[in-house]
Amino acid sequence: MGRILAAELQAQLGQSFVVENKGGANGGIGSVAVARAAPDGYTLLISGVGSNAINYSLYNKLPYADKDFAHISLLATGPNVLVVNPEFPAKTIQEFLKLVKASPGKYQAANSGNGSSNHLGMQMLESAAGFKITAVPYRGGAAAISDTLAGHVPILTLNQDVLLPYVKSGKLRPIAVFSAERNPSYPNVPTIAESGFPGFSAVSWFGLAAPAGTPKAIIDKLAAASDKAMANPKVKEKLEAAGFVVVGGSPAKASEFVKAEIEKWGKTVRDSGATVE
């Protein structure tokens, strides 16, 4: 996402944009670097559900807070998807829920790591639907997919873009998407919300943010440029082909969205008991 946006902003604004990957701590390493940067518009953050929503409740100590950022735009969202190995007996969300409710703790569900949105999204579903499965966290999605394909773990929740090739090839069976509305790349896969749990939503997302205190004129200029970038037909087509939903919108809209995400994921983290030192 960062490289796609950087290329578009560079073309629009005529300035060089250098993408620097700072991984670690569920996106927290990059976030703290931007939080401490000068508020001059030259250091920006590709924010996300982990680094800028989940982390605030997941980590006992975090060297940044939401007040350290000026949110510019919500770029795109993508649902977590519940899939199963084709040998798993359930073929629909109703059959899945009936099966897991009948045998609490019997079934295992892989995820890409403790505190990830796919891990906590499943926790959210467990709480809403009243069942219990055993979470199996992996160090990233690749290993989780590998073990689900091999049948070592029958159930998996992960981001839609990573799972799409396996779903299209029939190697994994989709049960439900965790977005509020059906995803265009998974048109025949129901949402949890339409399956008896109105309002259910557990999506991954990408935003653009700057250090708090960045002048409003700069924020507004970057917001307009970001909206134009995401509306570019080539950009939109590329993202939508991977199951992302392009959003865009004002800084105020982005800030409201992030605030709601912090509250929602905070409750899920507390209910799950998940924590990271």
> For 153-164, what is the mean pLDDT?
98
Inter-helix orientation angle 251-272/117-129, to 10°: 70
Give dist(CA 17, CA 106) in Å, integer: 50
CA–CA separation, 141 vs 16, rounded Å? Answer: 32
pLDDT tens-digit profile of 29-73? 999 999 999 999 999 999 999 999 999 999 999 999 999 999 999
Give the pLDDT score at 83. 98
Phi then psi dihedrals of residue 242, to 5 deg: -100, 5
- The CATH topology of domain 2-77+203-272 is D-Maltodextrin-Binding Protein; domain 2 (3.40.190)
Region 143-160 average pLDDT: 98
Residue 108: which residues within 8 A CB-CB, separation 6 or more? 133, 134, 135, 136, 153, 154, 155
Q: Which residue has the tokens 């049948």?
A: 151
- Widest distance between CA atoms in the chain: 60
pLDDT tens per residue, range 230-256: 999 999 999 999 999 999 999 999 999
> Domain residues of the chain, as ranges?
2-77+203-272, 79-195
Pairing of strands 155-159, 134-137: unpaired
3-state helix, strand, coil in the chain (%, to 5): 45, 20, 35
Whether pLDDT at 277 is above 80: no
Q: What is the pTM of this model?
A: 0.94
Which pLDDT band holds residue 274 (cuts at 50, 70, 90)?
confident
Provide the pairing of β-strand 108-111 with 134-137: parallel
Residue pair 117/54 in contact by the 8 Å Cβ criterion: yes
- The fold of the 79-195 domain, in CATH, is D-Maltodextrin-Binding Protein; domain 2 (3.40.190)
